[in-house]
Amino acid sequence: MSATAVRRLPPVAEVAVATMVLVIVGGIYLASSLPKQAALGPAVGLLAASGVLLAWNVITLRRLRPFAWATFFLVARWSLVGYIVIAGMLEYVFVRDHVRGSLLAVLTLMLTVYAVNIPLLLGFSVARYQSPAGD
């Protein structure tokens, strides 16, 4: 499929980048107050918004027909492995630093959104240029 012939797809990549921005802003907000705990309200709001965008992306992706799903899952699966390692490292650092309770819960959920969102973005970014017939 030629680049010029690529069909119009929903803004999955753009929404995934917006999701990442929300998670990173929330992470910076919380991390800038450590070891003390910042007010969780803004962080929970950012987390909820990022969760909504991620859910929208998953639902939108599920409706895509035809799509190079084999390529999508190939890239997303291996990216997920990598980002689970990265998110696991960050989670380990937080636990090691005695972050506990609701703060740890919010940070863990942010890392979860991050670790799911980026493989989705990478999988989509590659699969969109692949021919569904090649699957």
Partner 1 sequence: MSTAVSEITHELPLDHLAGPSGGMPRPDFSIVPVRGLPIVGAVLALLVVAIAGNWLWALDLFHVAGGGLWTGIDLFVGLIVGPIIGRLSIPARVEFSTRFMPKMLLLMPTLVTVTLASGFQLALHLGNLRSSYPNHGWIIASFIVVGAMAVIAIGILEPANIAVLFELKKPHPDGELIARLMRRFIYTAGITGLMQIATLVIMSKLAVG
The structure tokens listed for 69 are 């799903």
The structure tokens listed for 13 are 């990549």
Q: How far is the CB of 41 from partner 1 (least distance, A)?
A: 18
Q: How far is the CB of 33 from partner 1 (least distance, A)?
A: 7
Q: What number of other Cβ atoms are within 10 A of residue 86's Cβ?
A: 13
Q: How far is the CB of 54 from partner 1 (least distance, A)?
A: 14
Residues that bind partner 1 in the complex, under the rule CB under 8 A? 1-4, 6, 13, 16-17, 20-21, 24-25, 27-28, 31-36, 71, 75, 78, 82, 85-86, 89-90, 92-93, 96-97, 118, 121-122, 125-126, 129-130
Q: Give me the residue label for tokens 């990598």.
A: 82
Q: How far is the CB of 62 from partner 1 (least distance, A)?
A: 20
* Cβ contact 106:34 at 8 Å: no
The structure tokens listed for 97 are 């630093």
The structure tokens listed for 17 are 């980048």
